[in-house]
């Protein structure tokens, strides 16, 4: 048991999926896991452990933004010995050839700053995904016939960004989408020699201003969860 995770050590699996929204964690656990058990509800940040095709897995909410994710990822790694951590979440597209409902596999994550900035000091560390997870996720998406893009994403510090020039430069340099957590997850995975990947569903588009209606999100998010689980275990 840690400050933010009230689970016993053996309640957490070595493979953890991390959606930002705790209720998305609940939905994913109820939809994809067998015998899902609530193992954490401290501060309402829900976590569940069950099995998928016989493999033990935990789905733990991370909250919004890198500081929040850093708390949960740190505790999962250092106190619960999590070995594989996969972010499952939504993102905003930043390229014209990336469409609503597409899936982005984050090969790397650009950021202005992360909670690890104090450690890196003057170094611009370039965090990236675990290649084995990335490779398996790509092939899982192909089998599901899900339109998938592999490349760099931007992990933003803010949701309401008042720097349109940043969007312009990210788009200019081929960044596929923007979200708020992956860069720090990748930093921590590198630091502790763990496997990490971000599998993201495009829910809105920064260039066209399209957005995925709420009643159509579940199927798209379901593809993302299945891709993540397949990459972790197959």
Per-residue confidence in pLDDT tens, the chain, 234 aa? 899 999 999 999 999 999 999 999 999 999 999 999 999 999 999 999 999 999 999 999 999 999 999 999 999 999 999 999 999 999 999 999 999 999 999 999 999 999 999 999 999 999 999 999 999 999 999 999 999 999 999 999 999 988 889 999 999 999 999 999 999 999 999 999 999 999 999 999 999 999 988 777 766 799 999 999 999 998
Task: Kindly name the residue from 11, 132, 204, 215 that is annotated as catalytic.
Answer: 204
- Helix, strand, coil in percent for the chain, rounding step 5: 35, 30, 35
User: Is residue 202 included in any domain, yes or no?
Assistant: yes
pLDDT for 162: 84
pLDDT for 112: 93
Q: Which residues does 73 contact at the CB level (< 8 Å), separation at least 6? A: 18, 62, 85, 184, 185, 188
Spatial separation of the C-alpha atoms in residues 6 and 145, rounded to whole Å: 38
pLDDT for 158: 92
Q: Is 204 noted as a catalytic residue in this protein?
A: yes
Spatial separation of the C-alpha atoms in residues 215 and 234, rounded to whole Å: 30
User: Is residue 103 included in any domain, yes or no?
Assistant: yes
User: Is residue 82 included in any domain, yes or no?
Assistant: yes
pLDDT for 218: 67
User: Is residue 65 included in any domain, yes or no?
Assistant: yes
| 118: containing domain | 9-233
User: Under a CB-based contact definition with an 8 Å cutoff, are residues 98 and 171 in contact?
Assistant: no
User: Is residue 69 included in any domain, yes or no?
Assistant: yes
User: Is residue 151 included in any domain, yes or no?
Assistant: yes
This prediction has a pTM of 0.95
pLDDT for 219: 65
The enclosing domain of 220 has a CATH number of 3.40.50.1580
pLDDT for 1: 87
pLDDT tens per residue, range 8-59: 999 999 999 999 999 999 999 999 999 999 999 999 999 999 999 999 999 9
DSSP H/E element including 218: helix 217-233
User: Is residue 1 included in any domain, yes or no?
Assistant: no
User: Is residue 3 included in any domain, yes or no?
Assistant: no
pLDDT for 130: 98
Number of domains in the chain: 1
pLDDT for 94: 97
Nearest CA to 226 out of 132, 120, 140, 105 is that of 140
């Amino acid at each position: 048991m840690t400050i933010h995770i009230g689970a016993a050590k053996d309640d957490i699996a070595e493979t953890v999926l991390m959606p930002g929204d705790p209720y998305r964690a609940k939905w994913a656990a109820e939809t994809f896991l067998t015998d899902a058990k609530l193992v954490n509800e401290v501060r309402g940040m829900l976590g569940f452990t069950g099995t998928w095709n016989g493999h033990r897995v935990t789905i733990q909410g991370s909250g919004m933004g890198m500081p929040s994710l850093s708390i949960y990822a740190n505790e999962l790694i250092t106190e619960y010995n999590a070995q594989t951590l996969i972010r499952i979440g939504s993102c905003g597209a930043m390229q014209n050839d990336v469409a609503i409902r597409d899936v982005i596999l984050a090969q790397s994550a650009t950021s202005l700053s992360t909670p690890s900035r104090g450690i890196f000091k003057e170094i611009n560390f370039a965090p990236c995904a675990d290649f084995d997870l990335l490779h398996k996720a790509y092939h899982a998406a192909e089998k599901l016939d899900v339109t998938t893009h592999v490349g760099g994403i931007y992990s933003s510090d803010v949701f309401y960004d008042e720097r349109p020039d940043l969007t312009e430069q990210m788009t200019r340099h081929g960044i596929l989408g923007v979200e708020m957590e992956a860069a720090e997850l990748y930093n921590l995975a590198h630091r502790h020699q763990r496997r990490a990947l971000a599998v993201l569903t495009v829910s809105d588009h920064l260039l066209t201003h399209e957005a995925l209606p709420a009643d159509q999100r579940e199927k798209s998010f379901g593809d993302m969860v299945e891709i993540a689980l397949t990459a972790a275990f197959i």
